[in-house]
Amino acid sequence: MTTNYLQMMIDSLNKKKKILTRIVELNEEQDAILSEPVLDDEAFDSNMKAKGDCIDGLDKLDEGFQSLFNRVRDELEVNKAIYTAEIASMKKLITEVTELGTKIEVQEARNKVKVEAMFRRERQEHKEAKRSASMAKSYYQSMSRMSDEPQFMDTKQ
């Protein structure tokens, strides 16, 4: 019975590795989207949704893994020698998953900087557009207040 649980845990780690690899790919796509001069909103939203789905899958896998581990923990501590191969396989997978997690953290930090720069640029452009519109409105209002009479009149006679 414990062997089955251990195999399920190994399968869970393999699935987690696959999902983390997908997140790495999505982060690379996001980097390319953010590197474009004009943001493609649809592509960015689609990318974020896909990453969200992956994260939901990871949460479920983590819950299942922890549940299985809680069931076999005592058996593993007592009979480590019997399950050496499975334990070694899980250790290897956990190392790979951890490395992928670290890579994702670095990618996320890099993408966060790009997103913040993009938002700063967008805010600045919005600010400039707002200022230009305000100046145009002010000019229009001043010009509409003026009468048809000449503003500069020669007073010499």
Count CA atoms closer than 13 A to 140's CA, side-chain side. Answer: 6
For residue 83, being part of any structural domain is answered with yes
Domains identified in the chain, total number: 1
Q: What is the pLDDT of residues 97-108, one digit of tens each?
A: 999 999 999 999
Q: Alpha-carbon dihedral of residues 9, 67, 15, 87, nearest 10 degrees?
A: -20
Instruction: Give residue 108's pLDDT.
Output: 96
For residue 153, being part of any structural domain is answered with no
Instruction: Calculate the alpha carbon distances from 40 to 36, 46, 62, 96 in Å.
Output: 8, 10, 33, 33
Instruction: Give residue 138's pLDDT.
Output: 81
Domain range holding 121?
Answer: 2-139
For residue 52, being part of any structural domain is answered with yes
Which domain CATH number covers 49? 1.20.58
Lowest mean pLDDT among 39-43, 60-64, 76-80, 127-131: 127-131
For residue 107, being part of any structural domain is answered with yes
Token digits of residue 55: 């994260």
